Structure 1
Amino acid sequence: MNPSIRFRIAGPLIVLTGVSLFAAVGGTVPWWSETPAGELVLAVINWIVLGTAFGLSLSILVDRRVEDIPWRRIGVIAACFLLSCGAVLLPRLLER
């Protein structure tokens, strides 16, 4: 696949996952000592999931063996976002 096509596919995914990862880490670290342990565990899981999505986004850009559109990687990135949303909503649902 042409490098410019790989960049056009991976560019928005890199930005989306990078901003999400930055927001997740930046939103938790300042209040680390005030957050309950259960929510911290979910926050770290969220970081790992978003970091995985960010790594997969980068792999689309740098992997020269990609011949066609990497639908499986894009699907895993989408699944990571859904899992991340679930990890964020879980503490709010358990409060009720």
Structure 2
Amino acid sequence: MTRRGLAFTLEWRRFPWTRGWDVERALVGPSYLGNVALGLKEGRSWGWQDRDGTWRYVRRDRLDLLVEQVVETRAGFVPPLPRRNTA
């Protein structure tokens, strides 16, 4: 990841594969990747949401493919702001 100048932080997040109140460690990307959260599903694959909200997965041992796919699907993405109730 350092070869591409990417810096991720470690946070606690909920993912679709977590149960109840459980949270898991997540690598959270920089703003130019839309603050993407990467989670390790069942210790076997990295998971993240693409721009459309679809969950994508890459095997844990394929970091090269993970970086390529995350940059391809998230670069320049700005998540929409929450809507305000105007009533």
Considering only CA atoms, is the larger Rg found in Structure 1 or Structure 2?
A: 1
Assess same fold via TM > 0.5.
Answer: no
Q: Which has the higher contact order (CA 8 A, sep 6+)?
A: 1
Give the structure-1-normalised TM-score. Answer: 0.26
Give the structure-2-normalised TM-score. Answer: 0.27
